[in-house]
Structure 1
Amino acid sequence: MRITILGSAAGGGFPQWNCNCRNCAGVRGGTVRAKPRTQSSIFVRADAGVDGILFNASPDILEQIRARPALQPGRKVRDTAIAGVVLVDGQVDHATGLLMLRERGSPLPIWCTEAVAADLRQGLPLFEVLRHYCGVESHGVSPDGPGFELPGVPGIVLRALALAGKAAPYSPHRQQGTPGDNIAVVIADRQRGTSAFYAPGLMEISPPVFDAMCTADAVLVDGTFWTDDEMIRLGLSRHRARDIGHLALSGNGGMLDWLARLPSPTRRFLIHVNNTNPILDEDSPERAALAAAGVTVCEDGMEIVL
């Protein structure tokens, strides 16, 4: 199984278009050693496969496809290696890229929970817009339900896990969460017997979620903020990380504490990194702390083979 990191940043990308925080201004001016990143998305295919699964459709999807020739195999006049799309939530940075795939010659196969589908029919009606173009072939995903496969991607088995988190701001249940607003996905290669745990938005780690992390060969988890009050301290928001559905990396009970408890062979990756997070600075003490802990910060174009 091959996991290609198409985008590794949180919403807004890095540098963010209107941001002049130390990271964004520094990467533009060359005073901070950091790599620009597009918004979070991954592509998964079997070793011998051409077609694969797009997890989340970032607003940057066209740039990501152009940068990764494997997604455009060129077998016919119009072609794509994207057999289907799996959405872990209905957030802008994970769903609006669907509109960029509207030229598809047949309905776009999308797998998501009913809660997310409802938001994308009403709060942010992307499904209705796509009906006027390629159309949508919607498939339900049951949180904590049985495993499932996507047609055209044999041997890759997916299983969704319910997460505590926040629905998108335009969701009618933003303040009263409903099961399926946010999911993690266990991605398993049936032939090799390997698996990855993928959760770019993760606010709370329940026992079933941690069990799934412990049994995976690699975990790709929420690396949005270094501290819970990061945006408040920078004067950019009144909300803590937890208020918007993210578990901070540092601090007692933070993501790094949980990653340290995983079995030693587990490969640990951070994805969905916000532009303010000091780990983007490759010379920062926070980045050095990750290296010492065996934790890798995802970069666009990185490929993980399991």
Structure 2
Amino acid sequence: MQVVDSHIHLWDLKTHRYPWLENPGVSFVGDARDLKHDYLLDDLLGEAGDIDVLKLVHVEANHDPADPVEETRWLQSIADRADSRGMPNAIVAAVDLSAPNAPALLEAHASFANTRGIRQILNVHENKLFDYVGRHFMREPQWREHVTLLRRHDLSFDLQLYPSQMEEAAALARAHADTLFIVNHAGMFVDRSSVAGYRAWRDGMRLLAGCRNIVVKISGLAMFDHRWTVESLRPYVLETIDTFGVERAMFASNFPVDRLFGSYADLWHAYAAIVDGASVAEKEALFRRNAERCYRI
């Protein structure tokens, strides 16, 4: 099976600082203590099994916020090696768009050949267990002002948020119709204990899909389903594809985070089993072509 993996993370704890891995704990996404080790390109490719990984998109891994450009510099050095096959072929870098130095950081990231986009995690939740940032960045004037700079540098924005934030995100996307927004982790359906929670995810995803400049990555499902099976993933995968359409959805692994709950090959084979009845063209779009188009690789 050939894939373009549109969401992976690498880190080198010997040479770089990742604050969240300095004293990792247990959260809803799993036991981060099991992630406190180097995870490099050779590690990912070495555990791919029978999955033929054609290209990779690296999404910022919560590197030292004091120097986010160093992560991009390091990743570009890996991609430039003769033995890396250009991987990671695309880099989604970290910038705090609320910070005064955001314009300078965007320019610095954009100077690297493989930079394609920016991610700033936006997840806010009333339950502290699920709250990532504790701030509604999308409501802050300076943050919104700096979003306008993405287009200047031809950068997309990886949109990691919860269903409760999707209405604001749709408004943001409509206000920046010339910027591509890429929803991470199938919209992170977090409130799973109620019908209202499901409806908030379903309706929020439909609202996002109504914006033609928003696409979605089907990834990270194991963070909310630690004992996943093909059947437990199936409804969320199919609902996401039906909502956005085959041409605006792509599969991704979220490795090594989702590695806590299954192997790389098993995850990709699960995706394949779920869409087994799709046409060859539809499978090519979901597994390869859409990621290549959206990240321009």
Confirm or deny a common fold (TM above 0.5). no
Task: Point out the structure with the larger helix share.
Answer: 2
Task: Point out the structure with the larger strand share.
Answer: 1
TM-score between the two structures when normalised by the length of structure 1: 0.39
TM-score between the two structures when normalised by the length of structure 2: 0.40
